[in-house]
Every structure is written in C-alpha cells, then in structure tokens.
Amino acid sequence: MNIKDIAKLAGVSTSTVSKIVNHKDSSITEATRSKVLDLVKKYHYTPYASSKPNTTSWRIGVLLSSSISLDSTLDGIIQQAQASGYGTLVFNSYSSQEQEEQNIQAAIEHRVDGIIWEPIDKSSLKLNKTITAKKIPELIIGPLGDDRSALLPYEEAAYNLTQELIDRNHSNIACLLSPGRRTQSFLRGYRRCLFENNIAFHNDMVFNDIDDNLTTVMENRHVTGFVASHYRHAVELQQYAQSLHYRLPQDFSLVTLRNDSDEPLHYPGIPEISSYNMRNADFGTHLCSRLIDAIEHNKTEQTEFKHIFILDNEHTVSQPPNMRHKKIVVIGSINVDTYLATPTLPKPGMTVTTRNFASTPGGKATNQAVGVAKLGHHVSLIGNVGSDTSADFIYQAMNRFHVDTTGVMRIKRTDTGKAYIFVDNNGESMISLVSGANSTLAPDDIDGREHIFSNTAYCLVQTEIPLETVKEACIVARKHHAITILKPSSCPHLPDDILNLIDILVPNQNEIEALFPEPGSIVDKARYSISKGVGTVIVTLGDQGCVLVTEKTHTLFPAGQARVIDDTGAGDAFISCLASSLLENRTLEEAARIANLAAGFSVAHEGAIPSLISRQQLKSLLA
C-alpha cells in the first residue's frame, strides 16, 4: 500500500495525504483529515520519509516506574492503542532513575509519537525537558501527574469506602495501608472523610502491618471497622481475625479496594470481602485516548476519568456490634464431655462396663451458647479454657456454630474443664466434673470483658464457676440492663447477695431441694427464693414439665410425651430456648411452654449439643 493507493481510496490528492501524515494539514478540513488517517491506520501505511523527523510512526511509548504498575491499566492502554492503529513500546524503570533516563532516550530513538510516563519521583521530572525538546506529546500519570484526569481516583475511593462505614454508624474506623502508588492518595481520602464527618483522625488508627498493635485494638474493641487500601492485605487481615476467633461483620466490618484484575479469594466459612472494584483497564483506555487526541491534534475537551463506586457485596460490612440486634451473653463452665454408655449407673462398690464412649464440647455455658446460636440468635460466650488441645477443640466447635468466643480466654499451665457423663439404658445420667480452667474464672475477668455485655438483652449464668464470679457477672449484666437467668448447677447454697441479683432462677427439682432444704413444697421453696430477691422461678420437673412461680401465682406446664434416650443437657436446652423465646418478645408463659418442647426434643436424642433443637426444628414442632 503506497501513498497513491491511500489517496485513491480517500478520494483526495497524494499531496493532501502527504500533508496529513506529516502534520502540515492546517488548511485541510477535519472530515478529510479523519478519513485519510483512518485509512492510513487501517492499512498500516508508512510514509517513505518515515525516517525523517515529524513523520508519524504510529507508536506510543509507555514508561512505568516499577513492577507494581503492571496491572490492567497497561492492558487498557494497549487495547485502545491497537484499536486506534498504534503499536506500543513498554519500558519499566524498576525504580531506577538511571534506567528511567535510558528508557526515555530509547523511546525517543524509536521515534514514538507520544509518551505515557509514570515518573519515579519528583526529581525525575527534570527529564521532562528531553521529551519536550523533541516536541513529543506526553501524558504524565500517577501521583506526579499534571492534573487529576491522569490519576486513578484512589483518594475518592478511600473517601467513599470510609463513608460506607460512617453511613452505617461507625465512628472508630482504622485504615490498613499497603506500600504502593496508591498509599498517599488513599490516606488523604480516609483523613478527608473523617474530617468532613467531624471524626478525629489519630495516627494510631493507621496500620501498615498486621501485628500485635492491631491485635490490641481488636481485643479492646476500640475499632469497629477497617478500610484497606489493597485487597490482598484485607484478605490477610480477614484470615488473621479468623485465627483469633473473630467474625466479620459480627465483630467488625471490613471494606477494601480491589483491582479489576484481582480474583476474589474464597475460603470455606469465610465471607467474600465487601469491595470497590477499581476499573484500571478502563482508566488505561482513557489515558491512551487522551494521548492519541494530542498526537492527532483532535480538539476534544479533556475530562477526568469518571468512576462510580458501588460495593460488590455487603458480606463483611454492617452496623457496629453494639447497634445491631440485641444478643445473649452466656457465662459459665466450658468443658469437653466424655460420654460413657453403661447398662446401669455406677454405684459404690460396683464396677460397670462401658459399651461405647465419645467426646464432645460441653459444659453448661457451652451447651446454652450453642443452643441459642442454633435458634438463630447472636450469642457471646464468656469463660476460661486451658492451654491444651481440648481448648482448640472447643474453639473449632464454637466457630462452627457461630458462637462469639472473644470472651473465651486460654489460661497457661491449666487444662480445659472435663465432664465424665454416665448414661444408662433408661436415659438417666450421672456426671463427674473436673473443673480445670473453669475454677480460674475470676470477677476481674468479668470486668475485663465487660465490653462483651454491650447490647445484651439476656445474660445466662451457671454456678459451675466460683460464686464471687457469678455475683460479678450478675452485677455487670444489671449494669447493662440485661435480664439474668441463672442455673444453680452443682451448688448447695446461694447467698442472699446473689439471689437479689437474679431475674429468673431455673433449678431442677433436685437443685431447689438442695438450695432450700427446709420443709415445704417446691412452690414454697420457690416463693422463699422470691422473698430473698429473685424475680421469677421456673422449676424444671423432667417428664412432668415445669412450674412457673411468681410472688402470687404458680402455673404448671406439662411436658409433651417423649421417649427418653439421654436426659443430659435437657436443662440447657430448656434455658437456651427460654431466653431465645423471650428475646423474640414472647411472654414468660409462652416462653416456658416452648422451652418444654425444646427439652422434650433434647431427651429424645443422644448427647448434649447434638440434641439441642434448631430454629427450623422448633418451627416444625410449633406448627
């Protein structure tokens, strides 16, 4: 294809073609000029004088500063260049000014028609005179770009991400920064959003690494939300939080910025992070179009790159924990239960043979927390475990049931509590406890974990922990306006200063007899505890149901018929369902009836946690 062929196709003279390709076309109309250039590009026509200055080579140079620049922005530049009939020469300075200068000279020697240049730093800009001396159109991009249209909108992205959290009532927002070209712009956007929302900026809320400092603010619940500048750093934070038994967004929210080349990372049981997708390829197309307009003297108005930011999902973003739905806090024993199936229960002087045995997570606090979680409510567990492998077993199981375990602490040089449960052929059980770490739970531990009581509606407490800790738990619960429900397990006595802190006392028949051994009926004993300050008493009666006792009345709620296979954990099933029903605004009478159903379901199944009723199973029973 020669100049005559191009002229013939365009319907113009060869001199007109020559003037256009050699940029001497000021007297030629825009329509003719565009028509000729389109044909030149289409047929890759190279002028005979292409080795001379001021002739078009149909090449653009792209000068990048480092490897981190090599993302889909470059893809967008190359695609737009090819679509416009241009080739591309790509150079990388690898943060070396010497290499950068060599790259500029190489681009000039290859007679590129224009240059997209990302300088290494401010001192690199002195090399600009080499490009301008050759009258080569250039577009400087990155943080040193000559205008906002040559910048990816990282500042705007950070501003909007921070606003996403503020709009959801977060005020304690931390920023996780990664090194790179977006770092400073991202930090500016984060700070500006805080300022414009009258939220103070603190340097100690900006983190560059996932380390002990970050762990401290997470443990203190000082941060309710994170904005992360880079997607992969956000994934690291998510995995780190998961290893510490935090859940997103239940414990804190996380939003991040993701390049259009980043594949979302999915891990079992971990939600996909709520992200803005940065359209880098579209930005590259925008840059290349601007440069080609300058090369071809197109009189088009320069515009900023427009980006509409929308979260791709809301899996890891929510309101702060203290502003969401009311929750239930459970405080007490955390054990590993070992079940021993025997023909009859052991008696003094007798030896019984075990048919089979199995170990499961247990302890009354653990059972009740899982019971609440299976009924669909947010629940936090407070207690102590040891530094043994049994503690890992507990954490893994609670995570599986979505129980918040930020209030569960490992105690060094201590074993996790153990329970040995003998179950006979009639479903009757006998339990032997080794308290282990449960006995170390002290009043100071409750005070140190007081933040967990925020937004709590009901506090479930059992007495397989020290009584002074039980008292402190009830005091803190009352401070946070939570209703206390206490199970007096393994407890022959409750002092008056604990009784007057209990809103609902739930003993079984043996427990109330042990607490109040004076003569009288169960109702009399319940009324006596009410005279000591207890609000209401519900005595569970096994296959007889339960009796609800107030100061003036008492009501018997019969149990439904159920085949008893294992009565272990029936009381925990009753209490977790009672609290869940009350949380759903049912009356105490309705809640007692429904709790009877949960207990009946429990005794018809083996084990404590496996026999706890789920929300769907309870719906079926109620229907």
Do the Cβ atoms of 435 and 464 come closer than 8 Å?
yes
Q: Which two tokens stand for residue 391?
A: 């503690």
Q: Answer whether residue 50 shows pLDDT above 50.
A: no
* CA dihedral over 496, 497, 500, 505, signed as positive or negative: negative
Q: Which of 19-33, 238-252, 330-344 has the lowest mean pLDDT?
A: 19-33
Q: How far is CA 294 from the centre of its chain?
A: 46
Type of residue found at 416: T
Q: For 127-142, b where at least 16 C-beta lie within 10 A, e where not — what string?
A: beeebeeeebbbbbbb
d(C-alpha 367, C-alpha 609), whole Å: 6
Q: Which two tokens stand for residue 206?
A: 């900006």
Tallying the residues shown for the chain, one arrives at 623
d(C-alpha 184, C-alpha 186), whole Å: 5
Q: Which of 25-34, 74-83, 113-122, 309-318 has the lowest mean pLDDT?
A: 25-34
Q: Which of 28-32, 234-238, 247-251, 341-345 has the lowest mean pLDDT?
A: 341-345
Type of residue found at 556: L
Q: Using a pLDDT cut of 90, give the percent of the chain over it.
A: 42
Sheet of 417-423: strand order equals: 356-362, 335-341, 417-423, 429-434
Type of residue found at 7: A
Average pLDDT over the chain reads 86
The answer, yes or no, to whether the previous bond of 346 is cis (omega within 30 of 0) is: no
Q: How many CB atoms lie within 10 A of CB 379?
A: 27
Q: Answer whether residue 229 shows pLDDT above 60.
A: yes
Q: Which two tokens stand for residue 524?
A: 């009399």
Do the Cβ atoms of 476 and 447 come closer than 8 Å?
yes
Of all helices (H) and strands (E), which one includes residue 218?
helix 212-219
DSSP-based three-state secondary structure for 555 = strand
Locus of tokens 């996909």: 272
- Torsion angle, alpha carbons of 149, 151, 157, 163, to 10: -60
Read off the pLDDT of each residue in 594-618 and give the average, rounded to a whole number: 88
Which pLDDT score is estimated for 52? 46
CA nearest neighbour of 225 among 289, 274, 281: 274
Which pLDDT score is estimated for 26? 75
Residues 149-162: tens digit of each pLDDT: 566 788 999 999 99
d(C-alpha 515, C-alpha 360), whole Å: 30
Which pLDDT score is estimated for 206? 94
Q: Which stretches within 310-430 are classed as H helix? A: 364-374, 389-400
d(C-alpha 613, C-alpha 618), whole Å: 6
Helices 30-42 and 14-21: crossing angle, nearest 10°?
A: 80
Locus of tokens 């806090």: 329
Q: Using a pLDDT cut of 70, give the percent of the chain over it.
A: 91
How many CA within 13 A on the CB side of residue 170?
30
Q: Which of 55-69, 178-192, 391-405 has the lowest mean pLDDT?
A: 55-69
d(C-alpha 47, C-alpha 80), whole Å: 23
Which pLDDT score is estimated for 51? 45
pLDDT tier, 276 (very low <50, low <70, confident <90, very high otherwise): very high
CA nearest neighbour of 399 among 391, 389, 387, 388: 391
Read off the pLDDT of each residue in 284-302 and give the average, rounded to a whole number: 84
Q: Between vectors from CA 476 to CA 471 and to CA 481, what angle results, nearest 5°?
A: 120
Which pLDDT score is estimated for 607? 75
Q: Answer whether residue 481 shows pLDDT above 90.
A: yes
Q: How far is CA 25 from the centre of its chain?
A: 60
Q: How far is CA 416 from the centre of its chain?
A: 29
d(C-alpha 176, C-alpha 254), whole Å: 10
Do the Cβ atoms of 255 and 228 come closer than 8 Å?
yes
Do the Cβ atoms of 412 and 479 come closer than 8 Å?
no
Do the Cβ atoms of 384 and 440 come closer than 8 Å?
yes
Read off the pLDDT of each residue in 189-197 and give the average, rounded to a whole number: 95
Q: Answer whether residue 587 shows pLDDT above 90.
A: yes
Which pLDDT score is estimated for 523? 94
Cβ-Cβ contacts under 8 Å for 172 (sequence gap 6 or more)? 205, 222, 223, 224, 225, 320
d(C-alpha 607, C-alpha 596), whole Å: 18
Q: Answer whether residue 468 shows pLDDT above 90.
A: yes
d(C-alpha 276, C-alpha 259), whole Å: 8
d(C-alpha 503, C-alpha 536), whole Å: 6
Better-predicted residue by pLDDT, 70 or 419: 419
Q: Which two tokens stand for residue 474?
A: 């009830």
DSSP-based three-state secondary structure for 554 = strand
DSSP-based three-state secondary structure for 481 = coil
Cβ-Cβ contacts under 8 Å for 317 (sequence gap 6 or more)? 164, 165, 168, 225, 249, 253, 254, 255, 274, 311
Q: Which of 25-39, 102-116, 280-294, 502-516 has the lowest mean pLDDT?
A: 25-39
Read off the pLDDT of each residue in 215-238 and give the average, rounded to a whole number: 87
